[in-house]
Chains A and B, each alone.
Chain A
């Protein structure tokens, strides 16, 4: 066998080993958790699912989850599309900054989003000042409730608004690059064709085929993220359960023999129902995203670049509203960290007292610098593993596609998306049970909570690197080999050099996602010495707040987390290509 042949074999072995290890790391905890729950409850998964549909509370949670995810998706597309349209169709100054501001919500930790929206809808907050009381549901929201007999419409609207805020950048990320790189002459030509005589026919025959897959792709992902939303539901709709909160509430006592069997059954049945629904959504997302990539590639390859006009007043207003919408909840969090209630008068004053308290911490609450360093350690560990794993798996998928093994490539791509369909509770529980079985000594090991972070962030790395790999011209690598370079040098100059920007983007986003991860940390991080910022915020918010400093301390921790996420995201944006069509 030649040296190149040996090298190819080694590469294949490395790629398949990585794929197998990652899928095992993803699936094994799930299998562990299911096996344990079946063993504890004495029923198999099929029976558990049957029982799910006969339990009133589970059915209610399923209905509410489907309803909020569907409405959130529709609302996100309706609000996100005009913003994406305006960004893509006009020539904006500081387009990178605008994109970054509008996209920041997606990487903002969900616990911070929850705090921001609570401030937004709070009594005395900006919305109640405008007469919209979503929290106490007085005024017009109360009348809506009375008129429609709809229980807690304000809470539902607040949740949907928060989901729109969180997911709006998905519509932007998918639709805007397609619009901004599209050749404007297509639109002009369409006007002269019989199929493009009026606006409706142009929508049907031009815009739908071009941006339809992008919108669908964003919508499917928006549905998935809204479906699995945890912190927002926990704080914004306190009277309602989704499947995720139902599992989290029961997760603590699940999997224990002879104790609270009911909670084990809830977690078993709910997680399987959730897995089935999300798997279907992910199959749709993968298939639509493939179609979108193909269309985007065709559009982006067009030589005749579009000539964008200056934005009109309507476009300026839409973008300004979008920017305000993106910034407002985050600003309110920062303001709230300085707003202290006077225990005697009940009035509010502004001081940095909560910052001092949160910064120094005590034995009941971790100090911000400690929580910050814990968060940074976890996110560095996560990026150290997720980036190479994601890169190698992307290379494997790309190689399979180039070798015309489309079905195998699709299977691998789908398998790597599985973490998106898994509940953080199930991942946490599975890892916990697996460790107890195989190596109990590792249970208290501080690195353990990084495992779910790696599992959860790797699919995002793949989403970013795979399109970049697909766009690399293979002739560069071939030419490097022909020039007599060693396989490693040829790989470096022919492939790796082109991936610098996507790798930085993937690295920064992985760190941002890891920083904000809450669900799995909530299950696994129990040692006070290893509390992360997101866990610290939730702990503070869950404490009795007789002491007026507790809540501002939570907001101070949220502000630090938010700032850190922003810095990482702006780094990512600086490296992102203008017309990049990759998912995130």
Chain B
């Protein structure tokens, strides 16, 4: 007998029932006193910070690292019935709702503590429930090379449509929203930008299609776009640099970071057109299925303590979330970090509901 499909043939092997109702999942590991943190590569929690936590609490830490926020969500979804970590650090406001809807997180007690009130209004805006706590933030926006946009031969774009002109043909690089978290945030920003512009006959995907026709470079991740293609950043000093794009997606504080690492020098700046920027907030949350819940609670508290959170600009190149803390002034970090005029505003629930549809449309537009 010939089987129509492998899933039919292997029905007995593949009879997994995926429940959508929230219940407490069992842990995929034992509570052995270790705290397992699922995070992404660049979370630069320094040795001393982690050792200090271990000294204070007695919990040893093991990091399980993914490439980015998308990788964290993928891992939690795939290991839903046997979670491997206790705490996730790094899902942002474009991914968080999916994690919540899929019951991947459990409530943290931190939101009931007095310290929670220290979190700034801006950081608490996208989500203020008990399933996740913001720990850093930063506006995603377009960065451009001031050597190219010199104000004489090429002027600063006054609208995203300017980027579809001949001047910018083949000179822009965008991380794909399918595989990159800043790329995804920027695509969401474009949705809001074109929904609120004067022209009602076009939408974001018309713009993306026009950008694809204007030979925009699409990369799989932020690193490839910023480091390999962008001429305004540190990429020109790295191996593999191509330098064929004068504009890319990064953060509004990226020029500040460039200056911080290059003794107050940068020729990169941000394009802060209203609604073309979007606030990315990153969260920490206890995983549904965590074995070491007390340890996870303590780490969230530690992460949100002023001594640690204030170091986010140096360690994770993002803004702190606590009221009264910002970027350091050292070597032009704050001076070169641009402030958005008006961030795009798209509710997390809408992002979650429409993301699949948006990604499909984006892929069709840029193919």
- A residues whose Cβ falls under 8 Å from a Cβ of B: 31-32, 34-36, 38-39, 43-46, 56-57, 115, 118-119, 122-123, 135-136, 235, 238-239, 249, 252-253, 255-262, 336, 341, 343-344, 346, 362-364, 432, 436-437, 440-441, 443-444, 526-529, 531, 539, 542-548, 551
Complex: chain A residue closest to B240, CB-CB = A118
Using A363-B50, A444-B29, A551-B238 as known contacts, say yes or no to A255 and B261 having CB atoms under 8 A apart.
no
Complex CA gap A44/B43 in Å reads 40
Selected contact of B77 from candidates A256, A444, A543, CB within 8 Å: A256
Across the interface, do B28 and A443 meet the contact criterion of CB distance under 8 Å?
yes
Complex CA gap A319/B6 in Å reads 52
Given contacts A363-B50, A363-B61, A364-B63, 9 further A-B contacts (CB under 8 A): A35-B6, A39-B14, A252-B66, A252-B70, A441-B82, A526-B75, A544-B222, A546-B257, A546-B258
Across the interface, do B28 and A440 meet the contact criterion of CB distance under 8 Å?
yes
Using A436-B79, A526-B66 as known contacts, say yes or no to A32 and B42 having CB atoms under 8 A apart.
no
Across the interface, do B77 and A544 meet the contact criterion of CB distance under 8 Å?
no
Across the interface, do B70 and A38 meet the contact criterion of CB distance under 8 Å?
no
Across the interface, do B42 and A259 meet the contact criterion of CB distance under 8 Å?
no
Complex: chain A residue closest to B42, CB-CB = A543
Across the interface, do A34 and B47 meet the contact criterion of CB distance under 8 Å?
no
Selected contact of B84 from candidates A343, A344, A443, CB within 8 Å: A443
CB proximity of A355 to chain B, nearest CB, Å: 17
Across the interface, do B102 and A115 meet the contact criterion of CB distance under 8 Å?
no
Q: List 29 A-B contacts (CB under 8 A).
A: A35-B13, A36-B7, A38-B5, A39-B7, A57-B363, A252-B75, A256-B74, A257-B18, A259-B77, A260-B356, A343-B261, A346-B237, A363-B49, A432-B78, A437-B13, A440-B28, A440-B79, A440-B82, A443-B28, A526-B66, A526-B75, A527-B62, A527-B64, A528-B63, A539-B65, A542-B221, A544-B223, A544-B317, A548-B237
Complex CA gap A528/B62 in Å reads 7
Across the interface, do A44 and B6 meet the contact criterion of CB distance under 8 Å?
yes
Using A35-B14, A441-B29 as known contacts, say yes or no to A436 and B262 having CB atoms under 8 A apart.
no
**Is B44 at the interface (CB under 8 A from chain A)?**
yes
Across the interface, do B84 and A444 meet the contact criterion of CB distance under 8 Å?
yes
Complex CA gap A259/B80 in Å reads 13
Across the interface, do B45 and A364 meet the contact criterion of CB distance under 8 Å?
yes
Across the interface, do B45 and A546 meet the contact criterion of CB distance under 8 Å?
no
Across the interface, do A44 and B4 meet the contact criterion of CB distance under 8 Å?
yes
By a CB distance below 8 angstroms, the chain B residues around A544 are: 42, 222-223, 226-227, 317
Across the interface, do A443 and B5 meet the contact criterion of CB distance under 8 Å?
no
CB proximity of A157 to chain B, nearest CB, Å: 14
By a CB distance below 8 angstroms, the chain A residues around B228 are: 238
By a CB distance below 8 angstroms, the chain A residues around B367 are: 56-57
By a CB distance below 8 angstroms, the chain B residues around A528 are: 62-65
The contact string, 1 if C-beta is below 8 Å from chain A, for chain B 275-300, is 00000000000000000000000000
Across the interface, do A362 and B47 meet the contact criterion of CB distance under 8 Å?
yes
CB proximity of A413 to chain B, nearest CB, Å: 25
Across the interface, do B62 and A115 meet the contact criterion of CB distance under 8 Å?
no
By a CB distance below 8 angstroms, the chain A residues around B359 are: 262
**Is B31 at the interface (CB under 8 A from chain A)?**
no
By a CB distance below 8 angstroms, the chain A residues around B258 are: 546
CB proximity of B27 to chain A, nearest CB, Å: 9
By a CB distance below 8 angstroms, the chain A residues around B61 are: 363
By a CB distance below 8 angstroms, the chain A residues around B67 are: 252, 542
By a CB distance below 8 angstroms, the chain A residues around B84 are: 443-444, 526-527
Complex CA gap A343/B222 in Å reads 21
**Is B214 at the interface (CB under 8 A from chain A)?**
no
Complex CA gap A45/B42 in Å reads 38
Using A38-B7, A45-B6, A545-B227 as known contacts, say yes or no to A436 and B81 having CB atoms under 8 A apart.
yes
Which residues 168-227 of B sit at the A interface, judged by CB distance below 8 A? 179, 217, 219-224, 226-227
By a CB distance below 8 angstroms, the chain B residues around A526 are: 64-66, 75, 84
Across the interface, do A239 and B217 meet the contact criterion of CB distance under 8 Å?
yes
Which residues 1-18 of B sit at the A interface, judged by CB distance below 8 A? 4-10, 13-14, 16, 18
Across the interface, do A437 and B16 meet the contact criterion of CB distance under 8 Å?
yes
By a CB distance below 8 angstroms, the chain B residues around A135 are: 240-242
Selected contact of A118 from candidates B4, B234, B239, CB within 8 Å: B239
* Closest A-B pairs by Cβ, 9 of them: A440-B82, A44-B5, A528-B63, A38-B7, A35-B10, A344-B263, A39-B7, A257-B18, A252-B74
Across the interface, do A122 and B240 meet the contact criterion of CB distance under 8 Å?
yes
Which residues 113-127 of B sit at the A interface, judged by CB distance below 8 A? none
Selected contact of A362 from candidates B9, B14, B46, CB within 8 Å: B46
Which residues 69-120 of B sit at the A interface, judged by CB distance below 8 A? 70-71, 73-75, 77-79, 81-82, 84, 98, 102
Across the interface, do A547 and B7 meet the contact criterion of CB distance under 8 Å?
no
**Is B243 at the interface (CB under 8 A from chain A)?**
yes
CB proximity of B328 to chain A, nearest CB, Å: 14
By a CB distance below 8 angstroms, the chain A residues around B363 are: 57, 262
By a CB distance below 8 angstroms, the chain B residues around A542 are: 41, 67, 221, 223
Complex CA gap A344/B43 in Å reads 25
Across the interface, do B98 and A259 meet the contact criterion of CB distance under 8 Å?
yes
Across the interface, do B237 and A341 meet the contact criterion of CB distance under 8 Å?
yes
By a CB distance below 8 angstroms, the chain A residues around B46 are: 362-363
**Is B152 at the interface (CB under 8 A from chain A)?**
no
By a CB distance below 8 angstroms, the chain A residues around B7 are: 34-36, 38-39, 44
By a CB distance below 8 angstroms, the chain A residues around B220 are: 249
Complex: chain B residue closest to A529, CB-CB = B62
Complex CA gap A363/B77 in Å reads 25
Using A35-B10, A258-B18, A259-B77 as known contacts, say yes or no to A545 and B238 having CB atoms under 8 A apart.
yes
